[in-house]
Chain A
Amino acid sequence: MGLAFVSRGLAAAVFAVALASSSVFAATPKDTLVQAWQIDDIISLDPAELFEFSTTEIAGNTYERLIGYDLDDVSKMFGVVAESWTVSDDGKTISFKIREGRKFASGNPITAADVEFSLQRAVLLDKSPAFIITQFGITKDNVKDAIKATGDYTLDFTMDRPYAPSFALYALTSSVASVVDKKLVLEHEADGDLGNGWLKTHYAGSGPFTIRDWRANEVVVLERNPNFSGTPTPLSRVIYRHIPETATQRILLEKGDVDIARNLGPEQITALSGNPDIKIQRAPKGTLYYLGLNQKNPNLAKPEVREALKYLVDYSAIVDTIMKDQASVHQAFLPKGFLGAVNDNPYALDVDKAKALLAKAGLPDGFTVTMDVRSTQPITGVAEAIQSSFAKAGVKVEIIPGDGKQTLTKYRARAHDIYIGDWGSDYQDPHSNAQTFASNPDNKDDASSKTLAWRNAWPTPVLGPEVGAAILERDPAKRAALYEKLQRDVMADGPFVIMFQKTESAALRSNVQGFIMGPSFDNNLATSTSKD
Chain B
Amino acid sequence: MAGTSSSLAAWLTTAEPQSRAQARLGHAWQGFRRLSRNPTAMAGLAIVVLLIFVAVFAPLLATHSPIASGDLRTERLLPPGPVFWLGTDDQARDIYSRLLYGSRLTLAVVILVSVIATPIGLAIGTISGYFGGWIDRILMRITDIFLAFPRLVLALAFVAALGPGIENAIIAIAITAWPPYARLARAETLTIRNSDFIHAVRLQGGSSLRILLKHIVPLCLSSVTVRVTLDMAGIILTAAGLGFLGLGAQPPTPEWGTMIAQGRRFLMDQWWVAAVPGIAIFVVSLGFNLLGDGLRDALDPKAAR
Contact = CB atoms under 8 A, between A and B. Distances in A.
A and B are interacting partners: yes
Interface of A: 1-2, 5, 245-247, 250-251, 265, 267-268, 271, 314, 317-318, 320-322, 375, 377, 380-381, 383-385, 387-389, 391, 398-401
Interface in B214-265: 245-246, 250-252, 264-265
6 closest cross-chain pairs (CB), A and B: A388-B69, A2-B153, A317-B72, A321-B72, A401-B246, A1-B156
Given A384-B91, A401-B164, A322 B72 contact: yes
A381 B91 contact: yes
Given A245-B265, A268-B268, A400-B250, 8 more contacts: A1-B157, A2-B153, A246-B265, A247-B264, A267-B77, A271-B268, A318-B72, A375-B246
Given A245-B265, A267-B269, A387 B251 contact: yes
A381 B69 CA distance: 12
B34 interface: no
B208 to A, nearest CB: 41
Contacts of B73: 317, 320-321
Contact of A398 (B71, B76, B245, B250): B250
Given A265-B265, A401-B250, A385 B270 contact: no
A524 B266 CA distance: 28
Nearest to B157: A1
Contact of A385 (B91, B156, B269): B91
A384 to B, nearest CB: 5
Contact of A1 (B67, B76, B153, B270): B153
A5 B245 contact: yes
A267 B150 contact: no
Given A247-B264, A377-B265, A384 B150 contact: no
Nearest to B156: A1
Contacts of B71: 317
A163 B153 CA distance: 57
A321 to B, nearest CB: 5
A389 B68 CA distance: 8
Contacts of B61: none
A305 B102 CA distance: 33
A322 B69 CA distance: 13
Contacts of B150: 2
A392 to B, nearest CB: 8
A214 B98 CA distance: 42
B28 interface: no
A318 B90 CA distance: 11
Given A1-B156, A321-B72, A271 B269 contact: yes
A320 B265 CA distance: 18
A265 B270 CA distance: 13
Contacts of B267: 247
Nearest to A314: B72
Contacts of B152: 2, 5
B72 A267 contact: no
Interface of B: 67-69, 71-73, 76-77, 90-91, 150, 152-153, 156-157, 160, 164, 245-246, 250-252, 264-270
A509 B245 CA distance: 31
B191 to A, nearest CB: 36
Main secondary structure of the interface of B (DSSP, over half): loop
Nearest to A3: B153
Nearest to A391: B68
Contacts of B156: 1-2, 5
A1 to B, nearest CB: 5
Contacts of A247: 264-268
Contacts of B270: 267
Nearest to A271: B269
A402 to B, nearest CB: 8
> Which of B68, B91, B265 has the most chain A CB atoms inside 10 A of its CB?
B265
Nearest to A387: B252
A245 B90 CA distance: 16
Contacts of A401: 164, 246, 250
Nearest to B150: A2
Contacts of A400: 164, 250
B31 to A, nearest CB: 40
Contacts of A375: 246
A5 B270 CA distance: 25
A322 B264 CA distance: 15
B251 A322 contact: no
Contacts of A2: 150, 152-153, 156
A251 B268 CA distance: 9
22 contacts: A2-B152, A5-B153, A5-B245, A247-B264, A251-B268, A267-B265, A268-B268, A271-B268, A314-B72, A320-B73, A322-B72, A380-B251, A383-B251, A384-B91, A384-B251, A385-B72, A387-B251, A388-B67, A391-B68, A400-B164, A401-B164, A401-B246
Contacts of A251: 268
A361 to B, nearest CB: 24
A180 to B, nearest CB: 37
Nearest to A254: B268
> Which of A375, A381, A389 has the most chain B CB atoms inside 10 A of its CB?
A381
A449 B79 CA distance: 51
Contacts of B90: 322, 381
Contact of B160 (A1, A267, A384): A1
A1 B251 CA distance: 21
B7 to A, nearest CB: 57
A24 B59 CA distance: 50
B246 A385 contact: no
A247 B252 CA distance: 22
A493 to B, nearest CB: 29
Given A245-B264, A385-B91, A321 B76 contact: yes
Nearest to A264: B265
Contacts of A321: 72-73, 76
Contacts of B164: 400-401
A384 B152 CA distance: 27
A401 B252 CA distance: 12
Contacts of A388: 67-69, 91, 252
A399 B67 CA distance: 14
B137 to A, nearest CB: 29
Nearest to A401: B246
Contacts of A265: 265
A314 B69 CA distance: 12
Nearest to B267: A247
Nearest to A245: B264
Contacts of A391: 67-68
Contacts of B68: 388, 391
A1 B67 CA distance: 30
Contacts of A387: 251-252
B156 to A, nearest CB: 5
A88 to B, nearest CB: 55
Nearest to A270: B269
B176 to A, nearest CB: 13
A130 B80 CA distance: 54
> Which of B69, B76, B77, B153 has the most chain A CB atoms inside 10 A of its CB?
B69
